[in-house]
Amino acid sequence: MYKRSALYYDAIYSFKNYQKEAEKVHSLIQQNKRSEGRTLLDVACGTGGHLAFLKNHYEVQGLDANPDMLKTARQKHADIAFHQADMAGFELKRKFDAIICLFSSIGYVKTRQRLNKAIHNMARHLQPGGVIIIEPWFSPEAFTPGTLHGLWVDKPDLKIARMNLSTVKGNLSIMDMHHLVGTTKGIEHFIEHHEMGLFTHEEYLAAFKLEGLDLTHDPEGLTGRGLYIATRRG
């Protein structure tokens, strides 16, 4: 996932309003956090789009499994510490006042067992009174297989057409993303295979319940996919 396209990730997702999303996340953290510190970890941080704004409010760090995404993140944000690790198994030997996992990245855990592990892992890195915010991927009933998606980038020196036809296999949404990329050096085509777990609302609730966290759910969230906001009892 996001191997060859990591170089073009920011261009592909330039439509996202990271500043607006970060300000809503900041507001939710302030409403729900009961710890006194201001440390924040962005799990599956990508190229650091949200951290660019959250660092104005917190002492931030980022974590992602993809070394290519982290290479771009480090180039953009030399003042931020980034860690390469899987969200279900990282060990940073410290705790944070806020941990976020946005843009539906949690779906890449694929299975319910790994969903539980990821939330457990985030919870054990959380300060008493700290808050976790997770933006889920689609639920099984909200994901429509057979839907054709297209996304376009039209810049003077960069043209991208990305298309995929969504399918479902078991509890996985399958997306083979075809990229046609044109630069001044030439034109290339490549395919990236993405699999994301389709978890029910009840499965998310159960994962948080296992950790004994106080939970609220915002059905709208940042992009219409909702948000889970969990606070560790202090």
Q: How far apart are CA 29 and CA 76, in angstroms?
A: 25
Q: Give the tens place of pLDDT for each residue, 114-134.
A: 999 999 999 999 999 999 999
Distances (CA, A) of 46 to 3, 5, 10: 12, 12, 9
Strand partners, 195: 174
Q: Say whether both 92 and 165 belong to one domain.
A: no
Which of 189, 145, 187 has the alpha carbon at shortest distance from 165? 145
The pLDDT confidence band at residue 49, using thresholds 50, 70 and 90, is very high
Q: Say whether both 36 and 66 belong to one domain.
A: yes
Q: What is the CATH number of the domain that holds 157?
A: 2.20.130.10
Give the contacts of 220 (CB within 8 A, at least 6 positions apart): 226
- Mean pLDDT, residues 19-43: 98
**Domain interval for residue 218:** 4-139+199-231
The tokens of 213 are what?
């966290």
Residue 41 near residue 61, CB atoms below 8 Å? yes
* pLDDT above 90 for 84: yes
- The bridge status of strand 214-218 relative to strand 227-231 is antiparallel
The pLDDT confidence band at residue 196, using thresholds 50, 70 and 90, is very high
Structural domain tally of the chain?
2
pTM of the model: 0.97
* pLDDT above 80 for 2: yes
